[in-house]
Amino acid sequence: MLNNMQNRMTNKVLMGKFIDFVSEYLEITTPVNIRLTNDREDITTTAYYDLFNYKICVYIKDRAIMDVMRSLAHEMVHHKQNEDGKLSGNAEDGSDGSPIENEANAVAGVIMRLFGKQNPEIYTNNK
């Protein structure tokens, strides 16, 4: 139980550090509301970005922290794309294989590698 509480505290600190890292890396200027949730009530995938309300929601239950971080990085790239005027609000923007999705996937992968080099504990710190 104590070990689980320590992991949660460590993950909370790491997540804050990660959000700052991604925001700086992407040069995000518009505040975004980030919600990490164990509740599937309003989320049907692992994460989503609401471009009209600048909101990111990431499902975290039973997921390793690095997996949650990758989902968050992907959605933060979408936020940056929105800032840059690349998102139209059409469903095609987020379709598999679209330039918007491919960019979000690629940049999230780069972010994870860079952050992981500075914080290797993300690879061993599960749930």
Q: Which domains are seen in the chain, by residue range?
A: 2-123 (3.30.2010.10)
Q: Report d(CA 40, CA 91) in Å as an integer.
A: 22
Question: In angstroms, rounded to a whole number, what is the distance separating the alpha carbons of residues 57 and 86?
Answer: 20
Measured distance CA(91)–CA(66) in Å, rounded: 27
DSSP structure class, residue 91? G
Q: How far is CA 107 from CA 11, 26, 85, 101, in A?
A: 22, 9, 17, 10
pLDDT along the chain (127 residues), means of 10: 59 91 98 91 84 94 92 97 88 73 96 95 72
Report pLDDT for 126.
60
This prediction's pTM: 0.88
Both tokens of residue 43?
Answer: 């989320």
Q: What are the angstrom distances between the C-alpha of 62 and each of 18, 108, 122?
A: 19, 21, 15
